[in-house]
Amino acid sequence: MATANIPQPQWLTCRGGKLVASSNGMSWLLDFGVEPLYALVAIPAEGKHGVKIMDTVNGHQFSTGKVYPTVQSALEAGAEALREKLGW
């Protein structure tokens, strides 16, 4: 997995984390070095893309409830939604 072409948000890097792309390009993992804590997964939505945010520890999931034109924009929106949920 690589971090190429993934914008690394300052709110994440200042806490020692990074976003890592999956091999299929449809998801990113939020990684703090030990194991991924969250997965951001692009999902089909109204002929475009939505995003599902999953906690990899307890399995809880939520969505932004919005539709995005590209996989990249959906995953970026998912990262921002996660930041807001975490209160960072």
Task: Please give the single-letter amino acid code of residue 41.
Answer: V
Q: CB-based burial of residue 53 (10 Å sphere; 0-12 exposed, 13-18 middle, 19+ buried)?
A: buried
Q: What is the dihedral of CA 73, 43, 49, 22, to 10 degrees?
A: 30
Per-10-residue mean pLDDT for the chain, 88 residues long? 69 92 90 89 96 95 95 94 93
Q: What local confidence, expressed as pLDDT, does residue 32 receive?
A: 86
Across the chain, where does the E strand assignment appear?
18-21, 27-31, 36-45, 48-55, 61-63
Q: What local confidence, expressed as pLDDT, does residue 47 receive?
A: 96
Domain ranges for the chain, please list them.
10-86
Q: What is the pTM of this model?
A: 0.87
d(CA 38, CA 53): 7
